[in-house]
């Protein structure tokens, strides 16, 4: 009988330990340096390390760190100290899920239009002289077209595989589109840290067909990773672009939120009022009104 009680106690111990471990956050992506506060000292973190909820995390320099929890991920990209708590205790972050769904729908609606304007490369057309006309597309451009088709079909892992293995962005007419679709695919696949790294390390030109989508994605990821100044910069540029009403409203709403987070309430209110005035998306209108 005593032996059975001991075995049950051991089993219960491992069950509790497993449950607590499952509640921890795991560092799934790190570019730079991140430290965790333990027993009064800072200890370096490495990819794969775990941290319990409530841990204090410190980011240095241009670090990007992404932590995966049992129900969510946390993304950081600005130097400073952060509490690794659940977003269920942060109302502003709970609202970001609905914004992200609207963001993804607006981006998806425009993906097909962008595809037709980003795949012009090499010789494609007819001879001006009276000779037999011809069409020719180089291999990299053809593969890029396949990648964009996969992205439009929501096959994000396949998009990443094609872009990273079969396309040289330097051979594309619009190389900026390559970096945007790679980052957008990582984001849609759940790897926000990698997506932000791609956007940070590769310039997207303002003449690119995907420039407005880039600004929206870069701004949203900056906002979600607490880099509010960088988010405001992206959204301020975005509202100057020619946008459809849904994207314009979302841009003004997110511009307002990024300013609120920096304490600039007057400018934030003007942006939020503009989002309400546009009124293209009922959910965004409701969110904007709630923040006024």
- Per-residue pLDDT tens over the stretch 274-285: 999 999 999 999
pLDDT band per the 50, 70, 90 thresholds, residue 237: very high
Full-model pTM: 0.82
Q: 80 and 107 share a domain?
A: no
Task: Identify whether the C-beta of residue 82 lies closer than 8 Å to the C-beta of residue 56.
Answer: yes
Mean pLDDT value across the chain: 84
CA distance 114 to 195: 19
Q: 164 and 249 share a domain?
A: yes
Q: 124 and 51 share a domain?
A: no
Task: Identify whether the C-beta of residue 138 lies closer than 8 Å to the C-beta of residue 121.
Answer: yes
Task: Identify whether the C-beta of residue 235 lies closer than 8 Å to the C-beta of residue 254.
Answer: yes
Domain count along the chain? 2
Q: 139 and 75 share a domain?
A: no
Beta bridge partners of 37: 42
CA distance 273 to 281: 14
CA distance 287 to 226: 19
pLDDT score at 23: 84
Containing domain of residue 267, as a range? 93-291
23 vs 76, higher pLDDT: 76
> End of a domain among 89, 115, 143?
89
pLDDT of 1 above 70? no
Q: 192 and 81 share a domain?
A: no
> End of a domain among 74, 89, 104?
89
Say if 284 falls within a structural domain: yes
pLDDT band per the 50, 70, 90 thresholds, residue 85: confident
CA distance 37 to 178: 39
pLDDT digits (tens, 9 = 90+) for 71-83: 888 999 999 999 9
pLDDT score at 169: 96
> End of a domain among 52, 69, 89?
89
Say if 10 falls within a structural domain: no
Contacts of 236-239 with C-beta under 8 Å, sequence gap 24+, read: 238/212, 239/271
CA distance 246 to 269: 19
CA distance 208 to 213: 10
Q: 51 and 111 share a domain?
A: no
Q: 59 and 193 share a domain?
A: no
pLDDT score at 2: 55
H-type alpha helices, the chain: 2-22, 91-94, 96-117, 139-152, 156-166, 175-188, 192-201, 211-224, 228-238, 245-260, 265-278, 282-291
pLDDT score at 112: 55
CA distance 179 to 144: 11
CA distance 92 to 89: 9
């Amino acid at each position: 009988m005593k032996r059975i009680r001991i075995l049950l106690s051991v089993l219960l111990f491992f069950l509790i330990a497993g449950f607590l471990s499952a509640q921890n956050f795991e560092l799934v992506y790190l570019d730079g340096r991140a430290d965790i506060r333990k027993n009064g000292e800072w200890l370096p973190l490495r990819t794969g390390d775990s941290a319990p909820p409530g841990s204090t995390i410190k980011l240095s320099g241009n670090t990007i760190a992404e932590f995966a929890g049992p129900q969510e991920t946390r993304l950081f990209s600005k130097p400073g100290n952060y509490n690794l708590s659940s977003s269920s205790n942060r109302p502003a972050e709970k609202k970001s899920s609905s914004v992200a769904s609207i963001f993804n729908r607006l981006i998806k609606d425009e993906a097909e239009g962008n595809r037709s304007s980003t795949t012009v490369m090499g010789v494609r057309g007819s001879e001006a002289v009276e000779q037999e006309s011809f069409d020719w597309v180089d291999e990299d451009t053809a593969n890029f077209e396949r990648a964009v088709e996969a992205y439009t079909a929501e096959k994000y892992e396949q998009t990443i595989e094609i872009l990273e293995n079969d396309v040289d962005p330097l051979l594309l007419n619009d190389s900026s589109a390559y970096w945007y679709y790679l980052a957008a695919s990582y984001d849609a696949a759940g790897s926000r840290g990698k997506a932000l790294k791609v956007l940070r390390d590769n310039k997207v030109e303002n003449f690119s067909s995907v420039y407005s989508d880039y600004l929206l994605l870069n701004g949203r990821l900056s906002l979600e990773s607490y880099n509010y100044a960088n988010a405001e910069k992206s959204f301020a540029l975005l509202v100057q672009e020619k946008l459809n009403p849904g994207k314009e409203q979302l841009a003004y709403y997110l511009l307002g939120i990024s300013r609120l987070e920096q304490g600039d309430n007057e400018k934030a209110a003007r942006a939020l009022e503009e989002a309400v005035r546009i009124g293209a998306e009922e959910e965004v209108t409701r969110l904007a009104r709630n923040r006024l």
